[in-house]
């Protein structure tokens, strides 16, 4: 236990029991981004899966939106310590997008408009754990929250859920993305409180 | 990352709702202007709460770290830090954190700082760092505040902003300007950005910090003035404004 803060009692709520360590509940939807919000016209949007050399799959907005979609309700946990419970989304499962891709890769780099990147093990993108989401709360996803479409991997800290996502590069070895190169954890499990590099 | 213990050596009110806390942290490893720390409060039964705060001070040899905390109306940690905490108290913190929204003393290009409200804190660390290292990088600050009484670091800004015009300072008041102020009160707009920020052909690096809607609009005006996205770094806080 840390040093007792004289006169501090804190504010606890029943909902805190559902939160990962060190998180607090918010009903807002705060925004954290490193730079300007890109605005991508739908007729210029595309999503590409590649292996670093060759394009394996490519969708424009229309062919992407022809894919089967899922609606899902998940909890979000941001490394800046807010958590938002029970958010509802619509998107395409990454399983669907990887269905016809033959690969031996174990990792992926998500790439975004605006040059953001974030790395994940490929297994964390499979088995119903990740989506390319384009609707939030029954509305088209707003640009500041990553619209037209963002990656959503709710079991990891939210920086892994790349906004404005435009593709996945499959990799045989893990490699740090943007925040992972700047002191944040390579994997980012909120339940193990993997915030910063060096956290267990 | 390990928790460190700092001792409060000074407290200073910046405004009616914001206070600067000066900590002496004996094992502080040093920081870069723009970085932040996590602060942890622990109750007597072991319950703890952690929040992040930007560092306001320049790196220094005395291992002092200054944080300026704005009191949020329904906050859990900020009311304690701005009202309960006393000189001599010990406070747990870890950091420094963040390697993106930083100004390094080796940078020599023009720097454009744009602050909305308490977004001034990490930008002040950059201005102080520039001064303490003798950097000659040209700085401009556009500081949007509600009213004169809401300005943080007024005296320091005045002292640091007139040295050979290398740090120029423009205030923009959103609600109540001082008497005879030339610009009517209001949010920053494209005309103001075009008027008081560096011309984009000088390729300034821009740092914008403030509430999310402020950052979104400021960045929009910077882009419209010809600044490229890869020269604009942002730090946002608070909700988007569309409360559920």
Q: Who among B48, B51, B239 is closest to A2 (CB)? A: B48
Q: How confident is the model at residue A136 (pLDDT cuts 50, 70, 90)?
A: very high
Q: Who among B43, B51, B244 is closest to A9 (CB)? A: B43
Mutate to test the interface with B, among A31, A139, A178 (most CBs of B within 10 A): A31
Residue B244 pLDDT: 26
Please state the rounded mean pLDDT for residues A56-62: 98
pLDDT digits (tens, 9 = 90+) for B6-16: 999 999 999 99
DSSP letter at B71 equals: P
A146 CB neighbours in chain B (<8 A) are none
- Does the model's ipTM exceed the 0.85 cut? no
Residue B240 pLDDT: 44
* Model confidence pTM above 0.90: no
Which residue of chain B has the CA closest to A1? B46
Chain-chain contact of A2 with B89 (C-beta, under 8 angstroms): no
Residue B68 pLDDT: 96
Which residue of chain A has the CA closest to B228? A36
Contact indicator for B215, A34 with CB cutoff of 8 Å: no
B223 CB neighbours in chain A (<8 A) are 36
Chain-chain contact of B236 with A7 (C-beta, under 8 angstroms): no
Chain-chain contact of A144 with B212 (C-beta, under 8 angstroms): yes
At residue B196, the 3 state secondary structure works out as: helix
pLDDT digits (tens, 9 = 90+) for B93-132: 999 998 899 999 999 999 999 999 999 999 999 999 999 9
- A110 has which bridge partners? A118, A168
Residue A81 pLDDT: 87
Q: How far is A179 from chain B (nearest CA, A)?
A: 8
How far apart are the C-alpha atoms of A129 and B21, rounded to whole Å?
43
> Is the pLDDT score of A51 beyond 50?
yes
Contact indicator for A82, B51 with CB cutoff of 8 Å: no
Diameter over CA atoms, chain B: 58
Which residue of chain B has the CA closest to A12? B47
- Determine phi and psi for B146, rounding to 5 degrees: -65, -50
How far apart are the C-alpha atoms of A73 and A91, rounded to whole Å?
11
pLDDT digits (tens, 9 = 90+) for A72-98: 999 999 998 889 999 999 999 999 999
Residue A144 pLDDT: 87
Residue B116 pLDDT: 96
How far apart are the C-alpha atoms of A41 and A45, rounded to whole Å?
6
At residue B29, the 3 state secondary structure works out as: coil
> Is the pLDDT score of A17 beyond 80?
no
Q: Who among B44, B98, B239 is closest to A30 (CB)? A: B239
Residues on B contacting A at a C-beta cutoff of 8 Å: 1, 3, 5, 40-44, 46-52, 76, 80, 84, 89-92, 97-101, 212, 216, 219, 222-223, 229-230, 232-234, 236-240, 242-244
Q: Who among A34, A38, A81 is closest to B100 (CB)? A: A34
> Which are the contacts of B51, defined by CB distance < 8 A and separation ≥ 6?
A81, B38, B39, B76, B77, B78
**Mean pLDDT over the full length of chain B:** 92
> Is the pLDDT score of B165 beyond 80?
no
Diameter over CA atoms, chain A: 61
Q: Who among A24, A33, A182 is closest to B49 (CB)? A: A24
> Which are the contacts of A190, defined by CB distance < 8 A and separation ≥ 6?
A20, A23, A77, A79, A83, A155, A156, A157
3-state DSSP percent of chain B in helix, strand and coil, to 5: 25, 35, 40
Residue B99 pLDDT: 86
Residue A36 pLDDT: 85
* Closest listed residue to residue B39, CA positions, set B87, B91, B96, B99: B91
Chain-chain contact of A29 with B40 (C-beta, under 8 angstroms): no
């Amino acid at each position: 236990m840390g040093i007792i803060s004289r006169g501090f009692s804190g504010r606890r709520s029943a909902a805190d029991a559902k939160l990962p360590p060190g998180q607090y509940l918010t009903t807002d939807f705060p925004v954290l981004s490193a730079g300007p919000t890109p605005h991508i016209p739908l007729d210029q949007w595309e999503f590409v899966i590649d292996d670093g050399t060759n394009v394996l799959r490519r969708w424009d907005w229309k062919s992407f939106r022809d894919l089967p979609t899922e609606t899902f309700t998940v909890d979000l946990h941001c490394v800046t310590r807010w958590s938002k419970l029970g958010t509802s989304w619509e998107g395409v499962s990454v399983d669907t997008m990887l269905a016809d891709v033959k690969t031996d890769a174990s990792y992926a780099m998500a790439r975004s408009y605006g040059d953001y990147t974030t790395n994940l093990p490929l297994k964390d993108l499979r088995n119903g754990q990740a989506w390319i989401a384009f609707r939030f709360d029954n509305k088209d996803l707003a640009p500041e929250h990553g619209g037209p479409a963002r990656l959503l991997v709710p079991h990891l800290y939210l920086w892994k859920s790349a906004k404005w996502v435009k593709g996945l590069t499959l990799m045989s070895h893990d490699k740090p993305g943007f925040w992972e190169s700047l002191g944040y954890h390579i994997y980012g499990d909120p339940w193990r409180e993997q915030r910063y590099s060096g956290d267990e | 990352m390990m928790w460190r213990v700092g001792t409060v050596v000074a407290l200073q009110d910046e405004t009616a709702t914001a206070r600067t806390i000066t900590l002496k942290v004996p094992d502080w490893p040093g920081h870069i202007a723009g970085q932040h720390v996590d602060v942890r409060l622990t109750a007597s039964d072991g319950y703890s709460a952690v929040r992040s705060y930007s560092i306001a001070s320049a790196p220094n040899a005395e291992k002092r770290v200054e944080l300026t905390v704005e009191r949020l109306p329904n906050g859990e940690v900020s009311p304690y830090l701005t009202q309960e905490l006393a000189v001599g108290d010990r406070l747990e913190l870890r950091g420094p954190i963040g390697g993106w929204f930083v100004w390094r003393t080796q940078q020599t290009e023009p720097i454009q700082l744009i602050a909305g409200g308490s977004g001034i804190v990490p930008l002040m660390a950059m201005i102080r760092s520039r001064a303490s290292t003798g950097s000659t990088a040209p700085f401009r600050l556009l500081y949007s505040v509600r009213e004169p009484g809401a300005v943080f670091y007024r005296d320091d800004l005045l002292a640091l902003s007139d040295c050979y015009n290398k740090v120029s300072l423009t205030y923009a008041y959103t609600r109540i300007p001082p008497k005879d102020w030339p610009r009517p009160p209001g949010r920053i707009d494209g005309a103001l950005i075009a008027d008081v920020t560096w011309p984009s052909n000088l390729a300034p690096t821009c740092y914008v910090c403030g509430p999310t809607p402020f950052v979104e609009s400021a960045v929009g005006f910077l882009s419209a003035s010809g600044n490229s996205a890869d020269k604009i770094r942002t730090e946002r806080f608070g909700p988007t404004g569309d409360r559920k």
